[in-house]
Amino acid sequence: MKRPAVAALGGGHGLFASLEALRLVTDQITAIVTVADDGGSSGRLREEYDILPPGDLRMALAALCDNSEWGIAWRDALQHRFPGEGPMGGHALGNLIIAGLWDSLGDPIKGLDMVGRLLSARGRVLPMSMQPLRIDATVRGADPEKPEEVQEVSGQVAIAQTPGQVLNLRLFPDPPQPCKEAVDAVLDADWVILGPGSWFTSVMPHLLVPDLLDALVMTKAKRMLALNVQMDTGETAGFSASDHLEVLRAHAPALHLDAVLADPGVIGDDERALHALETSAAALGAEVVYKHVADPDTAGVHDTLRLATAYRDVMERSSRGPRHQ
């Protein structure tokens, strides 16, 4: 069977997990990565050089590295982080390499492609936008002492750490400059996978780039949403599985999905939660596919082999015919 062309959208550890699994399913992978990080090494390089934050792009490249001795050695080198409190302290070597290539070549896409060749990467890594972005959110209860007060919170790190409830998101600049290659990858894909990952800071921002959202709506590809294996954490505190889908539908009402991949553990034995998730999925045009994809030994983490098997099963199931038989 022909291996599918897959566009995988996300950022951070969620996208890393998805790409590690997809490597076992296909070698036609395009990772489309959020570029709004403003913390750590990425934030420092972004502020000093006015460049795309390289950290999530670096992680995506590392996830796609070839499984040879060469690829693994370079993956580990990219992920190496300098110790100490000096000017180099906290920087990942891969971030510095990527930033240096961008400065030398003057082209972020060429720089990422060059690192991909260095790693013998099984796919391509692209930014979702050609300019560094800022995420702004309207949040209720950002100040725990004023739980009903609604205020604006700015920046990926601040939103990820807010104790309040995120009501909506915006990107700045608005509209962002799209990455043409990323838009084309979505239009040319057989499958588009959104998630898993931090919902408001890694997954949802893709829907706020108008050209990218238009491509997601218009593509002939099948669309899968991969849910996190742990709900009610961090920036989605208090959210159920169905709440995640309702947020997505509120921000992108024209977006149709074909499948929602969920670990049974996100529902447990709660029949009401099961019904709510399947109702929310149906409103997006999707069927919920339940697969055990969580790492049994580490809470909140996907198991690479299980996730790869789930991706393959969903894709093969779709290729055999209609979802409802």
Q: How many CB atoms lie within 10 A of CB 12?
A: 22
10-residue stretch averages of pLDDT, the chain, 325 residues long: 91 96 96 96 95 97 92 92 90 96 96 94 96 96 91 94 92 95 98 95 96 97 96 81 94 96 89 94 97 92 96 86 41
Q: What is the DSSP letter of 207?
A: G
pLDDT of the residue at 323: 40
Residue 1: per-residue pLDDT? 62
**122 contacts: CB under 8 Å, gap ≥ 6:** 23, 27, 29, 64, 65, 66
How far is residue 241's CA from residue 243's CA, in Å, rounded to a whole number?
5
Q: At what angle do helices 210-218 and 180-188 cross, to 10 degrees?
A: 10
Q: Sign of the CA dihedral 104, 71, 14, 188?
A: positive
Per-residue DSSP letter, 199: I
pLDDT at 140: 93
pLDDT value at residue 322: 44
Which are the contacts of 206, defined by CB distance < 8 A and separation ≥ 6? Answer: 9, 10, 32, 34, 128, 194, 212, 213, 216
Give the model's pLDDT for residue 67. Answer: 86
Q: Is the peptide bond before 264 cis (omega within 30 degrees of 0)?
A: no
Task: Report H helices in the chain.
Answer: 12-22, 40-49, 55-63, 69-79, 93-105, 108-119, 156-161, 180-188, 210-218, 241-251, 271-283, 304-319
The residue with tokens 């742990």 is 230
Q: Domain coordinates of the chain in residue numbers?
A: 134-171
Cis ω for the linkage preceding 173 (within 30 of 0): yes
Q: Which of 187, 208, 241, 137 is nearest to 7 (CA)?
A: 187
Query: Which amino acid, one-letter code, is at 145?
Result: E
